[in-house]
Amino acid sequence: MTSAPSIATAVVMLSCIVTAAVALNVTTLPFDEGFYHLFGNDNLVRSPDGRSARLILNRYSGSGFISNDLYDHGFFSASIKLPSDYTAGVVVAFYTSNGDIFEKTHDELDFEFLGNTRGREWRIQTNVYGNGSTSRGREERYLLPFDPTVEAHRYSILWTSNFIIFYIDDTPIREVVRSDAMGGDYPSKPMSVYATIWDGSTWATGNGKYKVNYKYAPFVSDFSDLVLRGCRVDPIQQPDSARRCAEANEALLTADFAVTTPKKRAAMRRFRERYMTYSFCYDTNRYPVTFPDCDVIPSEQSRFFEWGETKYPRERRRSRRQIRKPPRAGDQKREADV
């Protein structure tokens, strides 16, 4: 009874991936042309063709890679397949940051994938930090309309001088428009691009209630279809870089993935209505004064508690048969979140 829906779902997901690649119109690059090994010794494994990489977390270490260059704005993307089975405490991240250069005033844009206990979904969190504004975190969390452990899906960050858009496949899920009210909280300094997997037992699942269980290790995440489109800069010579990058940034603003059509905006609204589970804009317990750049929608606000969590979670439960199915040899097993 379950085989037909499973096949149909897989076909739909695969077609979505193909559609996304066409719609976004991006060019991928080999791993070594854009990135290098950051940490984790043998826990980073390049594919034989050199176009993808596997990140592994085991009881000894996580792993990660970083872009060869810093970028003055850009479009950064990767197709990511997440670990399955029990993944509580596991964090996979795809993000931009300059924290290694500006320790106290760093900028950062994140996709953080938060693991979960067996039978529950992965959560995805997006973060926007500018000029060290981690105490004023602009975080949002979501569930997904698909199982991110079955097939790879594309996750993209568009960062321009005027706005930021987070994409899942070809669907924009979040837009942050620069405003005077944001001041220095808008990311503005050159950033590198990172991908990591690590042990977030202290906070990632149930606020630290559920830890990484290394009985289920290794936890494996695959990164492919890597995209780095932006102006590479020298952090020491930023004024010269800014002048040189002006033309590249103008081209970025006119690219297909930077144009928010009515169809894209409607898709973003539907995604947020169905799958957003937390918004900093509605977290009045943490932020009694709403951020001036928040676009508070009364009908949307009514769906959230005063601590920012949704009143109506839409969790996609797995069947008991799927949960208890024994792993096949070579399978990578992990899980998802509330």
Q: Are 285 and 307 in contact (CB under 8 A)?
A: yes
Nearest to 161 by CA among 62, 55, 242: 242
Over the range 246-273, which residues count as b (16 or more CB within 10 Å of their CB) and which as e? eebbeebeeeebeeeeeebeeebeebbe
Nearest to 13 by CA among 66, 71, 79: 79
Q: Let me know if 108 is a catalytic residue.
A: yes
Strand partners for 128:
109
CB 152 within 8 A of CB 244: no
Q: How far is CA 23 from CA 17, 196, 264, in A?
A: 10, 27, 11
Q: Computed over its alpha carbons, how large is the radius of gyration of the chain?
A: 19
Active-site position among 108, 121, 140, 335: 108
Query: At 78, which amino acid appears?
Result: A
Supply 75's token pair. 């479009």
- 139 catalytic? Reply is no
How far is residue 198 CA from its own chain's centroid? 15
CA–CA dist 110, 324 (Å, integer): 33
CA distance 213 to 233: 41
The residue annotated as part of the active site, out of 112, 121, 140, 335, is 112
3-state secondary structure at position 136:
helix
Could you tell me the end-to-end alpha-carbon distance of the chain, in angstroms, rounded to an integer?
26
DSSP state of 203: T
Separation of alpha carbons 286 and 290, rounded Å: 10
Q: Which residues are catalytic?
A: 108, 112
